[in-house]
């Protein structure tokens, strides 16, 4: 089995229409060639894009018999973004790369789209931390006020 780099980011948006949100979301990354797909397994309509051996998708966070990978822990988030590359990195642990990607993508998406983002990370045996990010409404770079507010919540 080939291990790769995988990232799942939860997104809480005021935009309920996945078509409009996908357009905004992919424009954030300057991606124009995303494809519409439909499957009950993924909660209906979802969007995929492939580039440089990477598969990335934007999905509804949904609650059906075939539960999405994140719904039970994050019911208030209406979308999730998954990013996967099956080429194992050379000389760097997969965990380090995934942590950096989670942090960067969560902050970038939260700030650019003015949404809340989150991800779950393992911090020990059967211990997890939920990290959520949102744009700071008081952001002022000239005053040293940070652009992103971060919240951490422990779960077991």
The residue range of the domain holding 68 is 5-117
CA-angle at 94, arms to 156 and 119, nearest 5°:
40
Tell me whether residue 92 is exposed, middle or buried, using C-beta atoms within 10 angstroms of its C-beta: 0 to 12, 13 to 18, 19 or more.
exposed
* Sign for the pseudo-dihedral over CA of 127, 132, 102, 70: positive
Percent of residues, the chain, with pLDDT higher than 90? 42
Is residue 11 assigned to a domain?
A: yes
Is residue 72 assigned to a domain?
A: yes
Residue 64: band (very low, low, confident or very high) from pLDDT cuts 50, 70, 90: very low
Give the mean pLDDT of 38-62.
87
Residue 70: band (very low, low, confident or very high) from pLDDT cuts 50, 70, 90: low
Is residue 38 assigned to a domain?
A: yes
Is residue 58 assigned to a domain?
A: yes
Is residue 123 assigned to a domain?
A: no
* Through-space distance between the first and last CA atoms of the chain, rounded to whole angstroms: 29
pLDDT surpassing 60 at residue 68: no
Is residue 35 assigned to a domain?
A: yes
Is residue 88 assigned to a domain?
A: yes
> To the nearest whole number, what is the mean pLDDT of the chain?
85
Tokens standing for residue 118: 């989150």
Between 119 and 68, the higher pLDDT residue: 119
Residue 89: band (very low, low, confident or very high) from pLDDT cuts 50, 70, 90: low
How do strand 5-12 and strand 148-155 relate by DSSP bridges? Answer: unpaired
Q: In total, how many domains does the chain have?
A: 1
Residue 66: band (very low, low, confident or very high) from pLDDT cuts 50, 70, 90: very low
CA distance 84 to 93: 15
Is residue 110 assigned to a domain?
A: yes
């Amino acid at each position: 089995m080939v291990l790769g780099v995988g990232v799942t980011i939860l997104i809480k948006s005021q935009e309920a229409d996945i078509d409009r949100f996908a357009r905004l979301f992919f424009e954030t990354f300057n991606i124009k060639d995303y494809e519409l797909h439909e499957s009950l397994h993924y909660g209906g309509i979802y969007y995929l894009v492939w580039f440089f051996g990477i598969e990335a998708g934007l999905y509804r966070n949904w609650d059906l018999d075939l539960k999405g990978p994140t719904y039970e822990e994050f019911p208030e988030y209406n979308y999730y973004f998954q990013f996967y590359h099956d080429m194992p990195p050379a000389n760097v642990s997969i965990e380090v790369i995934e942590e950096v990607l989670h942090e960067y993508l969560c902050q970038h998406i939260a700030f650019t789209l003015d949404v809340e983002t989150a991800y779950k990370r393992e911090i020990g045996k059967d211990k997890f931390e939920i990290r959520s990010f949102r744009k700071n409404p008081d952001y002022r770079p000239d005053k040293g006020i940070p652009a992103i507010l971060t919240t951490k919540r422990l779960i077991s």
